[in-house]
Amino acid sequence: MTASFITPEWVQDAVFYQIFPDRFAASPILEKPNNLEAWDAPPTPHGFKGGDLLGVAEKLDYLQDLGVNAIYFTPVFQSASNHRYHTHDYFRVDPLLGGDAALRRLLKEAHRRGIKIVLDGVFNHASRGFFQFNHILECGAQSPYLDWFRVKGFPLNAYQGKPNYDCWWGLAALPEFNHQNPQVRRFIFDVARYWLEQGIDGWRLDVPFCVDDDRFWQEFRQVVKQTNPDAYITGEIPWDAERWLQGDQFDGVMNYLLTYACWGFFGGEKMDKELVGHWYEHGPQYFTPQADRFAENVRALLKKYPRPAVQSQLNLLDSHDTARFLSIAGGDKRLQRLAALFLFTYPGAPCIYYGDEIGLEGGKDPDCRRAFPWDENRWDNDLRDFYRTLAGLRHQHAVLRHGSFEVLYAAGQVLVYLRQQEGEAAVIVINRSAAASFELDLPVTDVLPEGMAFRNAIGQGGAAVGEGRLRGLTLPPLSAAVLLPGNG
C-alpha cells in the first residue's frame, strides 16, 4: 500500500443511490421524440422510456428525504443505447437526458442539498458512433485515427460478419480503445478532468479490469486527484480487487464479493440461482447460508484491503447488471430488510439501487432496469420507511460509519456483531432463521462494560450487560435489532 493512500472523507459518510437515467424520472419540461416505450411497459434491450436528468433534479427532495447524500449515475453521455455504455461523445450529455444544461442544473440543485454526484466512466471501449472510430469506418486504412483502435483488416466488419478489430466481448458495437496510444490516454484523461472541472464529485469506472495496465490507472488517479483531491474513484471489479486498491489507483470498488455473500446468506434457501447466473462463478465460496461462514467471509473482506479502501467501498445488494435482490430472494421482503440492515451497518458506503426501497422487483437485464413507478399506491411504504430509518441511523451515529467491526456470535442463521469507536458502541443482532427465535445471551466481558444498557433503535425491547453477559433481547424469526446505548 502506498503510504499516502487517502480516500475522500465524504464517501465514508455517504448513502449512495444508483440511478439508471432513462428509467428513474422524466421531466415534463423536456420535449422528447415520439417513439418512446410506455413508462410502465416491461423494459426491452433497445427501447427508451424517456427518463432524464431534469427529472432527477425534480426528485431530489424525495432522495433527500430517504437519506441519500450521493448519487451514482450509469452513463449520461451521448449514445445510441438506452444504457449509454456505447459512447458517441464523451464531452456532451445526451440530448435525450436534457443535454449539458440539465447536468448543470442537477449539479447545482444536488450540491445545494449536500448531495454528491458520481458519473460512470466508460473508458475501455467506445462505440461505432464515436467520431474517431466512425472516421476509420469512412476512410479505412488512410484514417489518421487508425491507431486509436486495434484494427486487423479492411473493410471493417462493423455491422456484418465477425469483427476484425478488438471489441469488448466480441461485440462489434463496442470497439476497444488502444490504450498504448498516448493520444488515447490524453483524451481519456482530458474527459476525466473536464467533467470534474464542471463540478462532478467522482468517477465510477466501467470494466476497468479490461484495461490491463496499472500505469494507465495510476496516471488516471493522478489526473483526477490533481483536479479535485476530494474526488472519488471507484471501479467495477466483480472479484478480488487487491490489485487496484493499494493507494495508487482506485479509492474503492463496487464490492461485489460482499454482494455475493449477502445473496448467499440472506437469500438462503430462497436464493434463485438462475437469477444469480454467471455472478456465482466470480466467487462461489461467498455463497453460503451459514452464519459462521458468512461471518468469516465479511471479516476477511475487511482484512483483504487497506483500511482507507475498506471505508470507501461501494457496498451494494444489486445493480443495473444483476437481478434485483428482492427477486433473487424469492420476493421475500423480510429477507431484503435483513440484508439492507446489514449493508447499512457494515463498513463502507451503502448503495441503494433505485426502486429497491419501494419493493421494485426485476430479473436479469433488461428486467432489472424497469422504470420507477411514481404512483405511490404501488409503493411498499413500510419498506421505504425502513430504508429511511436505516439511513437516518447511519447518519446520526458515527460508530455505524467509522467504528470497528467485531463478530460476537455466528452460528446457524444468527449473526451478532459489534461496531465500536471512541467509547460509542452499537450491537447488531440478525436472526435469519425462518423458524426459530433467538435469545440474546452472550459473553462480552472483554468488549462491553458491566451495566451498559442498550435500546433497540428499530423495534421493541433492549438489552444490558450483567455479570459479563449481554442479555435481555429475544428476536423472533426473520428479524433484527440495532442496539444503541440507552434504556429501551
Q: Say whether both 420 and 303 belong to one domain.
A: no
Report the number of distinct structural domains present in the chain. Answer: 2
Helix (H) or strand (E) holding 256: helix 256-267
**Last residue in a domain, options 368, 396, 424:** 396
Q: Say whether both 348 and 458 belong to one domain.
A: no
The confidence band for 364, taking pLDDT boundaries of 50, 70 and 90, is very high
Decide if 201 is catalytic. Answer: no
> Looking at the domain assignment, is residue 137 inside a domain?
no
Q: Say whether both 182 and 297 belong to one domain.
A: yes
Q: Say whether both 63 and 17 belong to one domain.
A: yes
pLDDT digits (tens, 9 = 90+) for 152-161: 999 999 999 9
Determine the pLDDT at residue 60.
98
Decide if 206 is catalytic. Answer: yes
Q: Say whether both 306 and 447 belong to one domain.
A: no
> Looking at the domain assignment, is residue 161 inside a domain?
no
Q: Say whether both 358 and 309 belong to one domain.
A: yes
Q: Is the dihedral of CA 100, 7, 312, 245 positive or negative?
A: positive
User: How far are the Cα atoms of 229, 331, 332, 456 from residue 434, in angstroms, in the given order?
Assistant: 47, 15, 11, 21
> Looking at the domain assignment, is residue 324 inside a domain?
yes
User: How far are the Cα atoms of 135, 164, 176 from residue 170, in angstroms, in the given order?
Assistant: 21, 10, 10
**Last residue in a domain, options 345, 371, 396:** 396
> Looking at the domain assignment, is residue 129 inside a domain?
no
User: How far are the Cα atoms of 179, 209, 214, 257, 286 from residue 241, in angstroms, in the given order?
Assistant: 21, 9, 13, 9, 15
- Let me know if 49 is exposed, middle or buried by CB neighbors in 10 A (0-12, 13-18, 19+): buried
Given the residues 206, 318, 356, 357, the one annotated as active site: 206
> Looking at the domain assignment, is residue 132 inside a domain?
no
Determine the pLDDT at residue 4.
86
Query: CA 298, 300, 305, 311: dihedral to nearest 10 degrees?
Result: 30
Determine the pLDDT at residue 422.
87
pLDDT digits (tens, 9 = 90+) for 279-297: 999 999 999 999 999 999 9
User: Does the pLDDT at position 299 exceed 80?
Assistant: yes
471: domain CATH number is 2.60.40.1180
**Last residue in a domain, options 339, 365, 396:** 396
What percentage of the chain carries pLDDT values higher than 70? 100
Question: 3-state DSSP call for residue 226?
Answer: helix
CA–CA distance, 40 with 29 (Å, rounded to integer):
20
Count the helices and strands in the chain (H runs, E runs). 16, 18
Q: What is the mean pLDDT of the chain?
A: 97
The confidence band for 488, taking pLDDT boundaries of 50, 70 and 90, is low
Q: Say whether both 101 and 230 belong to one domain.
A: yes
Q: Which domain holds residue 366?
A: 9-124+177-396
- Let me know if 185 is exposed, middle or buried by CB neighbors in 10 A (0-12, 13-18, 19+): buried
Give mean pLDDT, residues 316-326. 98
Given the residues 120, 176, 236, 356, the one annotated as active site: 236
Q: Say whether both 339 and 411 belong to one domain.
A: no
